Structure 1
Amino acid sequence: MNKEKEKKLLGEDRREWILNYLKNSSGPVTGTALAEKSNVSRQVIVGDITLLKARNEPIIATSQGYLYMRIGNQGLAERIIACRHDRSQAEQELNIIVDHGVTVKDVTVEHPVYGDLTASIMVSNRKDVQAFLKSIRKTNASLLLELTSGLHLHTLTAPDEQMILNAEKALHEAGILAEEN
């Protein structure tokens, strides 16, 4: 047997390892992958992530896994846009945005009881969009836009502002960008 495989990381050592692993990862890492690498259950990882977040570590859970958010936007342009559409246009909306080289960081809706509800999306390309939508379908989850008759906000980032403006124009042409009244 592989002695490395048998070694179980414990408590604070494991949390420090998780933090370093996420900081050094170029993309999201699933709880299952972290559990396998540290030889603990996925539920233990979920608890560790919760404890790390309680220490104000900027870890977010995305549909593709956990992501360590670096401070600042590293020279990226960022903008919040308002969209309105139904569930059937979610894929079209996300594909329009990522096809312009823009990342969709999150979605926010204003709930009448809970106030602003924000969920991380972190999709940057069509493969990410497909994985996100597959996860929605697999879990039979609702999209947040279904709570607000389709009205929602997205935080977008891109290497330059013009890319976001081009994506906005394409969303407007598709009838997805929410119009100001």
Structure 2
Amino acid sequence: MRAFLASFWRFDGRLARLGYLLRCVVVIVFFLALLILGMEIFGLTPAESSGPLFFVEPIPNLVFTLLFYWAVIALSAQRVRDMGFAVLPIIAALITLEVLENFVLPRLTESRLPEPLEMMTPVGGILSIIAYLWLLVWPSARDPAPSSARPDPSRTSDASPPPPA
């Protein structure tokens, strides 16, 4: 259970398709419950605008948004590593896609996807759906990605060269 919970916040390790799907569902359910809890118990006002805003109040919105994106990026990094790809370029591309969808594309077009995806533009929504389907469908690699290999012990901070003979 501890490893399951830790996988939501860690960027290392690998995550197979079924594990990724399960954890994505858990993240969505958990954050929807937090959203409802924030509105009902703490009286937070939900944001009406499209974009990464969940609440009108800035501090709860910042905390909620950072926790949500941290969990999603951590799970995606584990899944990308399991697929056998280099993690950093793909995660950077996914973050760029999210920034475009939330800050650039809404200023360029007024068209939106139908409910429940009405906050997304057609181009950004289709690209986001393709990206997440790719993460769900692509098979696991037989060999671990180069970025998931254990570091050489001589490169750790505690390692020192052996004394001269």
Q: TM-score, normalised by structure 2?
A: 0.29
Q: TM-score, normalised by structure 1?
A: 0.27
Which protein, 1 or 2, shows the higher relative CO under an 8 Å CA cutoff with sep ≥ 6? 2
Which structure dedicates a bigger proportion of its chain to strand? 1
Which structure dedicates a bigger proportion of its chain to helix? 2
* Greater Rg by CA: 2
